Structure 1
Amino acid sequence: MPVVPESWSQRKPAALVKLLALAPGHRLRREQIMEALWPELDQRAAGANLRKALHSARRSLGTHEGNELIVSVGDLLCLPDGTSVDVADYWSLVAVARRSREPDAYQVPIEVYRDGLLPEDLYEDWAAAPREELRLDWLGVVEEFAALLEARGELNRAARAVQQLVAADPLREDAHAWLMRLYALAGRRDEARRQYARLRELLDVELGVEPRPETQRQFEEINSGQTSDPKLTTDLWERVGDLRVQSGDPAGAVKAFGQALADSADPAEAGRIHRKCASAWLMQHLPDEAEPHLAAADGLAPDQAEHGRLVCLRANLAWERGDFATARRLAERAHAIARADGDSADVAAALEALAFIAHVQGDWRPGLQAQIEGLAGVALGVRVARFCDFNHCLSQYQLYGDGLAGDVEEYARETLAIAERADAIPAQAFAWCLLGESLLLRAQWDEAEACLERSCELYAPLGSRSVALPWLRRAELAACGGAHDDAAIYLKRAAAIATVTPMARHAWARLHATAAFAALERDRPEEVLRAVRATQSAAARYGDCPTCSALLHPVGAQACALVGDREGAHAHAAAAAQFAGSFASSAWSAMAESAAASAAVADGDLYAARERFESAAALYAEVGHSFWADRATAQANSVRDGLERRNVQGTRPS
C-alpha cells in the first residue's frame, strides 16, 4: 500500500519504517531501533520515544485486511511478510546480472539505483552505512557493465557508463584514464585529450598534484597517435584483453585480442597476441579454437622465453584433449625453458600446469613432493604466491575428497619433512597450513591453531604478496571458538594480502566465504549477506574459484533463511548442489544437503529441513569432519525442537 510523503507529520516515525525496510527480514529488536534513532537518550526515555513513534507510524500506514503493518513479535518489530522494498529489488537484480554476465541485465539495477539510498536523509547517522554500502556496490556494478561493453566492442555505450563513474567521483583518476582509453579506441581522440585536460585541472585545483605517470604515458600515446595509426589501436585493444582475462571474462578477452590482431603489423607483437588469444580459448575449455592461434604464434616467437610460453599452452591444450602423457612431457619442457630463459610468471605457469596434470591423473601428492625436493637451493621470489596458492586450491580436493581426507594429516607431515630437508621455506609454510587445516576439520583446535600460526610466521617474511589461506583458516578457527575479535583481525590481515596477490580469484573467494561464516557465528545474518554480495562483486572483477568459495553456499543459505529470503536460500542451495555434482565428495555433498536444509527452513518445511540436516551430519562424519558434523546435528536438533513446539500447538499436518 503506497504511503504519500504528506502522511508523515514527523521524521522519527518515517525513520522507524525506513529502518525496518532496510533491516534483513524487515525485523529489528526494539533496543536496536532505540540505539539507532535516539543514541543520546537513556533506555527509559528512548523507549518512550519509540512507543510514540510506533503509534504515529501505525496511524500513518493504516491497516491492510484489518491487520497492522508494523507487527510486534516479542521484542521484535517487523514489517509483514511479502513487503516489497526497492533496495531488496536492487540486490536481487544485481545478483541476476552477475550470474548472467549480460550487459542488458546490468542496465536494470543501474537505473533502479537512481539517486542512491534515501537522499532525503542525507545527514542521518543510521542511514550512512547502508547508503555507502549501496553506493560502493553500484559503482562496482557500473564498472562491470562498462567492462563487458568494452570487451564486446560497444565503445560508445561503455564510455557513457564510465562517464557515470567520473561524475560520481570526479577525482577518481583511473576512471578518467579508462574514459580516455575508450575515446581513443572509438577514434574520439580529441575527446580523450579534453578528458585528460579536465583531469589535470581537477587534480591541480583540488589536490595540488599531477596525474600519475602511467596516466601521463597513456595521454602521450593518444596525443602522438593519428587516427590511422594501427599501433595505437593494437596496444589499447591488447590492454583491454589483458583486463578481461584478469576479471575472469575469457570470451570478452578473445574479442578484444581479435580486435588487436586486426590492426597488428609487427610479427612479434602478432605472435604474442595470438598466444594470449589461445590462452583465453583454453580458459573456456575450447582447444579446437585455441589450436589455430598456437599454430600462428609458433612461427612468430622472437626468443626462447616466448617459445616456452607456447610450449606451456601446448601442455594445457593436450590435457584439455585428455592426452595427459603429452601434457606432462610438454609441461616439464616448459618448466625447463622457463627456468633457463623465462621470468617468474613463466616458471609459475609451468608449475601450475604440472600440478594440475598430476591432480587429474591422481598423483598430485607425489608430484608436489617431487617439486618441493627440486626446490633445494632455489629462491621462489615473487613466484611464491602463485606456486603455493595454486597448490592450496588443489589441496582442498584432498581435504574434502572421499578416500583422500583420511590421511591428509600424515601426508602433510611427510611433506613438511621433505620441505625442511630442501630448506624450502614457502613449502614448509604450505605444509604447516595443510596440517592445520586437517586438524581444524577434525575439531582439534589447539593443535590446528599452533600449525596455522607457524604457517603464518613462515609466510609473513615473504612480503605483501604472500598467501592469505592460513590467516583465513585462523579466522575460521577463532569464529568456531567464539573469539570474534581475533577472527576480525585475521580477516583484515588476509584482506591486505588478497588486495595485492596475483591469485586474487582464489583469495577473495576464500576471504568472503570465511567472513560470511564468521558473521553467521556472531548471529549477524545481515553481515553474512553483505559478504555474499561482496563475493559476487569480486567474482565479476577477478573471476571465480568454486572450490575456494564452496563454504559460502551453506552459510549463505542459512543466513537467507534466517531473514526470510526464500529466493536467496534456494539460489545458494542450487549452487551448492551444482558444485557437489562436479566431484565425488561426501563433504561437498554435505554442504549441498546443509544448504538445501536451510532452503527448506525458508519454505517452512521443517520435516524436510530436519532430514537434510541429518543427512549433512552423516556425510560430514563419513570424512571425519567432526566440527561440521556436530554443527549439522545441532541444526537438525534445533529444527526438531521447532517441530515439537509446533506439534504441541496442534499445527502438525494430518
Structure 2
Amino acid sequence: MQELGIELFGRFRVAVGDRVVPDSSWSRRKPAALVKLLALAPGHRLRREKVMDQLWPDLDAAAAAANLRKALLEARRALAGEGADGADLIVSIGDLLALPADHLRVDVDDYWTAAAAARRAQDADAYVQAMELHRDGLLPEDVYEEWADGPRDELLADWTALAAELAGLMEARGELAKAAHAVARLVAADPSHEDNQAWLMRLYALAGRREDARRQYDRLRESLAAELGTEPSARTQRLYEEIRMDQVSAPELPVALWERVGDLRAQSGDADATAKAYEQALMASADTATAGRLHRKIATALLMLHLPDSAEPHLDAADRLGPDAAEQGRLVCLRANISWERGDLETARRLATRAHELAVTHGERDDVTDALEALAIISHIEGTWRSGLQDQIHRIASDDLGDRVSRFYEINHCIGQNQLYSDKFAGDVDDYARQTLVLAERADAVGAQAFAWCLLGESLLLRGHWDEAAACLERSCELYAPMGSRSVALPWLRLAELAVCTGELDQVAPRLKRAAAIAAVTPLSRHAWARLHATAALAALERGDPDGALRAVRAAQRTAERYGECATCGALLNPIGAETFARIGDSAGAAAFAAAAARTAASFESTAFRAMAASADGSAATADGDQTLAQARFEAAAALYEKAEQPFWAARSRRLAAGLA
C-alpha cells in the first residue's frame, strides 16, 4: 500500500504515494473536513457519532448519518483517484472511521515528534526545525471552523512555548542575536504581548542595538494604544528609560544577567538550563567572590542532575577562592549531598550537621533549609526518616525558616510518597501522621502541621475515606496558603484526585490550577508536574474525553523532558498514560508507559506499584488487541489494589476488565 501523506500546516494538501490529490478534488468542504478531522484525531480514528457532531451539529442523527455516508464516499474517491474506491485509505472498523495506521504521515505528528526531540536535546537547530514545521499555522483556510479551534490553539501554544524556550536557551548561552530573533517571532505573532516586547527591547540593548530597542518601545506603545487603549506598564517604561540613558551598558551587567537567568531557571526546576546560564556568567566574571558563588551554583545545578563527579571540581574551585563563613557552609552542604549520592552516609551526616551549624550562625534561611533537606534525605536512605523528621520539628521551629519551611517540606512530601505506597510503611502512616501532628502543634510548627495533615489526608484518600480525607487535605491547604506561591502543591493535587474519586469532576480543574501555580515556581517541580497532568488525564478519561487525556499526557511528557521526573511522585502517570494511549489505539505509546510502570514496580517493595504496573500492562494488551490478556491483567491489578487497601483503584480496574468482557 502506498503512503498517505497529509499536510495541515499552511494549507491542506494530500498525497498518495507520488500522486498529489488535486485541489479540485476537494471542491466540496465536508469530504475534506472529514479527512482533516481524522488526521487531527488521536490515533487518527474517530467514532462516527463524533464526526457527525463536529460536522453537522444542527442536524438530527438520521440526516447527519446520511451526510456522513456521502462525505465518506467522496473523500475515499478523492484519495484513491479514478477507478478505485479508497476503502483502504479511510477504513471503517465497526463504529470507527480511521486512516491507515501503517502507511500514514501527518505533518502535525511530525511537529510533535520534532518538538519533543528538541526539548530532549536542548539543541537550537532542532528547535528551529520544529518551529519551521508550523509554517502559517494549522489550516488557515478553516479559521472559522469550530472543530479546528482546539487543535489550532494547542499547537499555537506549544509553538509559542518552543520559541520562548529557544530564546531562553540562546540567552543563557550568550547568543543574543539568535535570542532576539526568536523573541521577535513571538512579538510578530502577538504584538500586544508586553512582556515579550520588553524582553526583545532588553536583548537589543544588551547586544548594543539601542536604536532598535527604542524603536521596539515605540511599536509597543502604538500597539497597546491601538488595540487596548493603554500605555506600557511602569516596569517597561523604566526599562525604556534605562535604555535611553544608556544605563544598561555597565560592564557588570552580563554577569548579573546570566546569573539572574540561572536563578530563574533554578526556581522553575530546569537544572540543565540553570547550569548553562551560570557557566555563561562565570565566563564573564572578574571578581573572586562572584566567581566562587557561581562555581557553587553550578555545582548545585549539577547535583540536581545527580552528577556528583561533575559538581566536585566546581566545589574545589570555590574553596580555593576563599569563601566567607556563610559561603563555606553552603559548600559543606553540597559536599554532604555528594557524599550521600556516593553512598557514604556517615560522612554525609557529619557534613550536613556541620552545614546546619554554619547556616544557623552565619547563613540565611535558604541555607538552613538546604542543610535540613540534606539531613532528611540522609535519614530516608538510612531508614530513620520518621524519627528523624519528628526530631527536627523543634529545630525547624527555632530556626525561623519563615516561608522557606515549605521548601523543606516539599522534599519530605516526596519521601512521604514512598511511605504511602511502601509495603513496609503504608499500614501505619495514619498513626505516624497523627503523632507528627501532635508534636508539630506542641512546637507551634505550622509547616509541620500542614505536612502532617496532608500525609494523613493522603492515607485516608487512598483507603477510600472520602470525607475525612477532604477535611485533612483542606486543612493542609489552609495552613500552607499563607506561605504564598512558594508553598506546597501536593495537598491541592490530592484534592483534585479526591474530586475524581467522588465524581465531582467540575472541581478538578480549579484545584489543579492552584497546584500548577505553585509547581511553576518551585525548584522541586519535578515532584509535582507528573501527578498534576496524570490527574488531569484521569479526569478526562472519566469524562469520556480521550483527546483531553492525551493533551494532559503530552504535557506531562514535555515537563518531564524539561524538569526531570520523580519515580514515586509521578507513578500515577504510568497506568493513566498507558490507558490514554490504549484508548486511541497507540500500542507503542501504551507499551512505553507499561515499561515505565514495570521499572517503578521493580525498584520498590510496593504492592500498589505492582498494581499500577499490572493495570498499565492491561492497557498495553488492549492496544495490541489481546483482550484476554488485558482482562487478566486488569483483574490482577484489582486484586493487588485490594491487597494494598486502595478501593477506588481496585473498583476502577475491575470496571476496565468488565468493559473488555
TM-score (norm 1): 0.87
In structure 2, do the counterparts of structure 1 residues 347 and 215 end up closer, same or farther at CA, with 3 Å as the change threshold?
farther
Does 2:12 correspond to 1:27?
Answer: no
Q: Deviations over 1:444-494 (max 9, x none)?
A: 333323322332333344444432222221221221232212333432333
> What is the aligned partner in structure 1 of residue 246 from structure 2?
224
> What is the aligned partner in structure 2 of residue 245 from structure 1?
266
Does 2:595 correspond to 1:574?
Answer: yes
Matches for 1:32-111 after TM superposition, within 5 Å: 32-43=50-61, 46-47=64-65, 49-62=67-80, 67=87, 69-82=89-102, 83-111=104-132
How much has 1:300 moved relative to structure 2? 4.8
How much has 1:145 moved relative to structure 2? 3.2
8 Å contact 2:470–2:498 — kept in the other structure?
A: yes
> What is the aligned partner in structure 1 of residue 528 from structure 2?
507
Q: Which amino acid aligns with 1:93?
A: A
Structure 2 regions of 5+ residues with no counterpart? 5-14, 16-20
Query: How many angstroms apart in 2 are the aligned matches of 1:572 and 1:474?
Result: 25
> What is the aligned partner in structure 1 of residue 572 from structure 2?
551
2:528 aligns to what SS in structure 1?
A: helix
Matches for 1:594-613 after TM superposition, within 5 Å: 594-613=615-634
8 Å contact 1:472–1:511 — kept in the other structure?
A: yes
> What is the aligned partner in structure 1 of residue 25 from structure 2?
7
> What is the aligned partner in structure 2 of residue 648 from structure 1?
none
In structure 2, do the counterparts of structure 1 residues 254 and 452 end up closer, same or farther at CA, with 3 Å as the change threshold?
closer
Does 2:379 correspond to 1:361?
Answer: no
Matches for 1:205-220 after TM superposition, within 5 Å: 206-207=227-228, 208-211=230-233, 213=235, 216-217=238-239, 220=242
How much has 1:397 moved relative to structure 2? 0.9
> What is the aligned partner in structure 1 of residue 327 from structure 2?
306
Q: Deviations over 1:168-188 (max 9, x none)?
A: 222333334444555566666
> What is the aligned partner in structure 2 of residue 650 from structure 1?
none
1:28 aligns to what SS in structure 2?
A: strand
8 Å contact 1:385–1:501 — kept in the other structure?
A: no
> What is the aligned partner in structure 1 of residue 550 from structure 2?
529
What is the RMSD of the two structures over their aligned residues, measured on CA atoms?
3.3
Query: How many angstroms apart in 2 are the aligned matches of 1:221 and 1:347?
Result: 39
Matches for 1:280-429 after TM superposition, within 5 Å: 280-298=301-319, 300=321, 304-376=325-397, 380-429=401-450
In structure 2, do the counterparts of structure 1 residues 540 and 187 end up closer, same or farther at CA, with 3 Å as the change threshold?
farther
Matches for 1:434-449 after TM superposition, within 5 Å: 434-449=455-470
How much has 1:309 moved relative to structure 2? 2.4
Query: How many angstroms apart in 2 are the aligned matches of 1:412 and 1:402?
Result: 17
1:170 aligns to what SS in structure 2?
A: coil
Q: Which shifted more, 275-284 or 20-29?
A: 20-29
In structure 2, do the counterparts of structure 1 residues 94 and 474 end up closer, same or farther at CA, with 3 Å as the change threshold?
same
How much has 1:527 moved relative to structure 2? 0.9
In structure 2, do the counterparts of structure 1 residues 346 and 86 end up closer, same or farther at CA, with 3 Å as the change threshold?
same
Matches for 1:465-476 after TM superposition, within 5 Å: 465-476=486-497
> What is the aligned partner in structure 1 of residue 608 from structure 2?
587
Q: Deviations over 1:590-613 (max 9, x none)?
A: 333432332232222345434544
Q: Which amino acid aligns with 1:328?
A: R
> What is the aligned partner in structure 2 of residue 161 from structure 1?
182
Query: How many angstroms apart in 2 are the aligned matches of 1:306 and 1:222?
Result: 37
> What is the aligned partner in structure 2 of residue 644 from structure 1?
none
In structure 2, do the counterparts of structure 1 residues 215 and 358 end up closer, same or farther at CA, with 3 Å as the change threshold?
farther
Query: How many angstroms apart in 2 are the aligned matches of 1:146 and 1:553?
Result: 32
1:374 aligns to what SS in structure 2?
A: helix
Q: Which shifted more, 604-613 or 179-188?
A: 179-188
2:46 aligns to what SS in structure 1?
A: strand
In structure 2, do the counterparts of structure 1 residues 283 and 580 end up closer, same or farther at CA, with 3 Å as the change threshold?
same
> What is the aligned partner in structure 1 of residue 295 from structure 2?
274
8 Å contact 2:201–2:213 — kept in the other structure?
A: yes
2:252 aligns to what SS in structure 1?
A: helix
Structure 1 regions of 5+ residues with no counterpart? 642-654
How much has 1:154 moved relative to structure 2? 4.8
1:84 aligns to what SS in structure 2?
A: strand
Query: How many angstroms apart in 2 are the aligned matches of 1:432 and 1:293?
Result: 40
Q: Which amino acid aligns with 1:209?
A: E
Does 2:539 correspond to 1:518?
Answer: yes
> What is the aligned partner in structure 1 of residue 478 from structure 2?
457
Matches for 1:103-122 after TM superposition, within 5 Å: 103-122=124-143
8 Å contact 1:248–1:540 — kept in the other structure?
A: no
Does 2:469 correspond to 1:487?
Answer: no
8 Å contact 1:247–1:540 — kept in the other structure?
A: no
Query: How many angstroms apart in 2 are the aligned matches of 1:277 and 1:172?
Result: 33
Query: How many angstroms apart in 2 are the aligned matches of 1:272 and 1:409?
Result: 43
Q: Which amino acid aligns with 2:505?
A: H
Query: How many angstroms apart in 2 are the aligned matches of 1:333 and 1:637?
Result: 58
Calculate percent identity across the aligned residue pairs: 63
In structure 2, do the counterparts of structure 1 residues 465 and 250 end up closer, same or farther at CA, with 3 Å as the change threshold?
closer
How much has 1:580 moved relative to structure 2? 3.9
